[in-house]
Amino acid sequence: MEASERLFGPGGRHSERGRLWQQLGPPDFREDFARAGHRSVPMELWHYVGSDTPFLPSTFYVIFFRRNGVGPFELWSPETDGIAALLPSDEPGSSVGASPVDALADIDPELATAAVDLVPGGGASASRALLADLDGFAERMETMRVFGERVVTHATARTLMGRLSASVELDDVGVAEIIYWLRLLPGQSERLGWERSGARWRSKLTVMGRLGDGARERERWEDELWLDVSDDERERLADTAVSIRGRKLWIRDDRVLSLALLNTEASVFATVDLSEAETEPGGEQAPAGRVLSRERTPEEQDRYRLARGLALVEKGEIAAGIGELSPSDVGAHLAVARTLYASGRFDALLAQLGPLSARFRSEPDMFVLLGAAAEASGRVQASLAYYETALALSPGNAGIAEALERARARK
């Protein structure tokens, strides 16, 4: 778990890469294609060789990718995602007419091999079975652990009575967030494990959440909250509710929100169907009783700012949208640049992001986009300079080299 946090950032132990790292250990080979230039979305190829892990093939690949080039790394599926999801759409410098497999082979032959067969030589059925086994790996290993053996540990917990509700809140530019409330009904606070701390009472609550489409989990998180009250407040809680309030950026594929509240003495689990959640401009008012609020983490704040920035760019408020972004978040600026390029706003891309190019001295994709925008606007000299910078950052990149030669020919 510590390695997952170190390798994959805050919350990495709950990420899809972190889950597999914890369950299977580090892969024998791990290749990072985040620097593949404009030819692919950021992705990683993991290769396990000679594995003796139960239920899994001895040799297999897994691919993680950022969907549409942004967001968290997800486990790629050849059936539900397809090879095209690993390649950017409408990107400058792409190989016209090349098949998706050929485009991957141009980046790395082994990557193309893995995309065709996650289990070498196994075909589509073996790839499908591998992903199913990885999805249920923890449950199958636990079943194997206890089957035919004496279970030496177990835990029991009293069930709390609670209610989960959620609404979708729109901010001033239309960015949607899920506002959720998990309420413990009046009287349930007495069932929590209280500890005396000086003149006050404390109870530690662990809140675990999951978001997804019902069949697949997209995001998981875990929070620790402390209920800290005086003697009088604890008595009043017997007649009022304890509520946990939180927020999460809403992705339109999210259909199911699940929350579990765990305490040393009791627990509650609840699920809500987001397709029935109301959309409102302001969020639900705080109920009576004690409210514990979960604030955005720094990572969630960055994701929210990116969503606001893209929304403002879509509305034509480009400078304001870029102003929402963290200056050091190159990925967020790339997402804005791709949006501007895809919508043909080349002058805006050059005017707004060109002066900031010093920030992107380690990112060839930004200079490719600036070069392509300059080329499309007829600014050949500027496009040459941008392409040359991109090629210097990514030597040997065939797509960038072709774009540079094309710009030189125009000159």
The beta strand positions in 4-157, using DSSP E, are: 29-32, 43-48, 60-66, 73-75
Contacts of 233 (CB under 8 A, 6+ apart): 290
The beta strand positions in 171-199, using DSSP E, are: 176-184, 195-197
Q: Which range is least confidently modeled, 11-15, 142-146, 329-333?
A: 142-146
Q: At the top level of CATH, which class does the domain 301-410 belong to?
A: mainly alpha
Q: Which range is least confidently modeled, 106-115, 273-282, 320-329, 402-411?
A: 273-282
Residues found in the chain: 411
What pLDDT, on the 0 to 100 scale, is given for residue 157?
A: 59
pLDDT digits (tens, 9 = 90+) for 167-198: 889 999 999 999 999 999 888 988 888 999 88
d(CA 345, CA 330): 20
What pLDDT, on the 0 to 100 scale, is given for residue 152?
A: 45
* Residues forming CATH 1.25.40.10 domain(s) in the chain: 301-410
pTM more than 0.85: no
* 328, 352 contact by CB (below 8 A): no
Q: Which two tokens stand for residue 178?
A: 């899920």
b/e 107-135 (16+ beta carbons within 10 angstroms → b):
beeebbbbbbbbbeebeeebbbbbbebbb
Amino acid at the residue 224 = E
Contacts of 246 (CB under 8 A, 6+ apart): 179, 180, 207, 209, 223, 293, 294
* Residues forming CATH 2.60.40.10 domain(s) in the chain: 158-295
100 confidence band (pLDDT: 50, 70, 90): confident
Amino acid at the residue 374 = A
Checking phi first, is residue 121 left (phi over 0); if not, alpha (psi -120 to 50) or beta?
left
283 confidence band (pLDDT: 50, 70, 90): very low
Stretch 1-8: mean pLDDT, rounded? Answer: 87
- The yes-or-no verdict on residue 151 having pLDDT over 50 is no
- Percent of the chain at pLDDT above 70? 90
pLDDT digits (tens, 9 = 90+) for 236-282: 888 888 999 999 998 878 889 999 998 888 888 889 988 877 765 54
Stretch 206-235: mean pLDDT, rounded? Answer: 88
Q: Which of 169, 217, 166, 176 shows the shortest CA–CA distance to 304? A: 176
The CATH number that domain 158-295 falls under is: 2.60.40.10
* 371, 377 contact by CB (below 8 A): no
Q: Which two tokens stand for residue 305?
A: 């700012």
- The yes-or-no verdict on residue 378 having pLDDT over 50 is yes
